[in-house]
Chain A
Amino acid sequence: MSRPTRVEAVWSIDDLELELRKLPGVRSAGFDEFDDVLLVQLHVVDRQQKLDHPDRSDQPVPVSASRIAARHSDRPVTVEIVRWRNAPPVEPPLLAPASSETVETAETDTDEIAATRPAAITGTGEPARARLLAVLAFPDTDELEVHLVFDGRRTIGRAPVSNGIEGAVVATIDAVRDLGTGIDARIVWARAVEDVGDGNRSVVAVALDGVDARSPVRYGLSTGTSLIDAAARATLDALNRRLSRAL
């Protein structure tokens, strides 16, 4: 990525940005310049409706954004809308990925108004997945938290940090359950395979039951930045195929 450059403008771009960010679903606003044209790029999440400006909620974002930009600028403006939608459901993968790190993907399309640049982001076509946001340990209160996100919704699973990697597995299952998946997995065992303590060198294997009736025990294996991180990822690895169907 190139180093960002600051957009210089003789008029207040702050007011423009604030007003654009008030439009329904706008999650990010970016600005660029070429020749004498100001490029405004908005990333819009369709299903996120904002209620603070109900009078504008029925207006298409491209129309509203163009009008606002034109009102704030004394020079030509290009408004590029990048829409984010969840990818359509696809068949679950036959094999679990080598790494258990799951990434939520989003399909995008652009709805450009007189735009002269291609879309900044292209869809990947992969199924939406729950994504591991963080594994946090609080030794002073003996708490361990596993944070997941799926479709803009975050869940947090908790367990005693003193339970080590088993606690991380339980907390991950707890967070998955809160996503409303209906998966009622239980830990059979969890083992540290390797713990070099150097970046991504911790490796954990887990075995879960209650994941799938056809396969009483599901196994997961993953690297991680720490043992508990690897344990959380290994748990998602074990749940992967069932999870992709449930979500």
Chain B
Amino acid sequence: MSQQSGIARGLGALFPGPTGHRATDSASAGSDAPSGVMRMNALGDDFASAVATSESGIALIYKALDALVEQFALDDAAVVIEEASLGQQVFCAGRRPLGADDEELLVSAPGLYTRPALDDHTFDRSMMLTLCVLALRLDALRYDAWHDALTGLYDRRSFDRLLEMAVARSSRYGWPFTLVILDLDHFKIINDEQGHQAGDAVLRDLGERFRRALRFGDNAGRIGGDEFAMILPNTEPDLVPALLDRVRRAEGVESPCPGFSFGVAQCPQEATEFDKLVQLADARLYEAKQATR
């Protein structure tokens, strides 16, 4: 694919022009094409606004690429982005897998590439590239904002939100779920005797076990120092021990699984409110904890 060269002019070319495939060349049209310029500005604003408000920057990048392909009847379009936290990334229209014709994309400089080439007067390549980088960066920031940096699981804030939604869905549609709150046994001893690095490794490995053992639809979060919680849809409490046993036996984690205690609460059977549900699971965790001492 060929990269557009030079400073391009308008994001409006991503979208249909009034008379054909090519959008107005605002640079050459100058004051003769004020409507074209306004159109480009408006669409640029729309894209920028979408980047700021959309929950998915990646989806926006693909949407822009797909619009480009559609508008200019292209065979393909791709954007190569270089972003500090994600490295160099290649996005192809349609989310398609790369084919034999795409080898160059993987070593190409950041930019917008199309097949066939578009002349460089048709759209603002640099603006589109900038917005794509921004969309991707926002995605990464959103991801980091919702996940615990140590374990990669949901953090307390996002888990609480997930739990609120689960409770709301349960009361609205009657969808049952079980809340599990889990606390490591004697974690303080690990920290005191082996150091915080060892403690962090234990937490990280447990997060890894959760990721490997939980099912599609289950959600796990780290809600405190050594405290974890899970939302298990359509799961009876008496099935929880078997699931946690799967967590203990998760393959691919070399370190032994730390001991833990847990408490469960069922929604809507036992509680239909967020606070009561958490209190109930917490109280049962406390009972289980006492039993281990």
Q: Which residues of A contact B (CB under 8 A)?
A: 1-7, 12-15, 17-19, 21-22, 25, 27-32, 39, 41, 43, 45, 48, 50, 52-53, 55-56, 63, 67, 70-74, 80, 82, 84, 103-106, 120-122, 131, 133-134, 136, 147, 149, 152, 154
Contact = CB atoms under 8 A, between A and B. Distances in A.
Nearest to A53: B152
B232 interface: no
Interface in B88-142: 88-109, 115, 139-140
Interface stretch (B26-34, B187-195, B212-220): B212-220
A62 B281 CA distance: 37
Contacts of B95: 4, 6-7, 13, 17, 29-31
Contacts of A80: 97
A12 B58 CA distance: 11
Contacts, number: 136
Contact of A4 (B93, B139, B216): B93
26 contacts: A1-B99, A4-B93, A6-B94, A18-B58, A18-B143, A28-B98, A30-B95, A31-B96, A39-B97, A41-B97, A43-B98, A52-B86, A55-B150, A55-B152, A67-B211, A70-B216, A71-B216, A73-B216, A82-B98, A103-B104, A104-B107, A105-B103, A106-B106, A122-B100, A133-B109, A149-B107
A122 B103 CA distance: 9
Interface majority SS on A: helix, strand, loop or mixed? mixed
B252 A63 contact: yes
Interface in B47-103: 55-56, 58-59, 62, 66, 69, 75-76, 85-103
A134 B96 contact: no
Chain B, interface SS category: mixed
A63 B251 CA distance: 11
B115 A1 contact: yes
A30 B96 contact: yes
Interface residues of B, number: 51
Contacts of A39: 97
Contacts of B100: 120-122
Of listed B86, B98, B252, residue having the most chain A CB within 10 A: B98
Nearest to A128: B107
Nearest to A40: B97
A41 B96 CA distance: 9
B217 A1 contact: no
Contact of B58 (A17, A25, A56, A149): A17
B3 interface: yes
Nearest to A48: B87
B161 to A, nearest CB: 15
Nearest to B218: A71
A187 to B, nearest CB: 25
B269 to A, nearest CB: 25
Contacts of A55: 150-152, 204, 208
A29 B92 CA distance: 9
A28 B92 contact: yes
A21 B89 contact: yes
A6 B97 CA distance: 11
B171 interface: no
Report, nearest first, the 7 A-B pairs whose CB atoms are least far apart.
A4-B94, A30-B97, A41-B97, A28-B90, A14-B56, A4-B96, A31-B95
Interface in B136-174: 139-140, 143, 150-152
B5 interface: yes
Contact of A1 (B76, B86, B152, B204): B76
Contacts of A131: 107
A178 to B, nearest CB: 15
Residue in B105, B107, B109, B252 whose Cβ sees the most chain A Cβ within 10 Å: B107
Contacts of B99: 1, 120-121
Contacts of B3: 134
**Central interface residue in A5, A7, A121, by most chain B CB within 10 Å:** A121
Nearest to A64: B211
Contact of A50 (B86, B90, B105): B86
Contacts of B139: 14, 18
Nearest to B251: A63
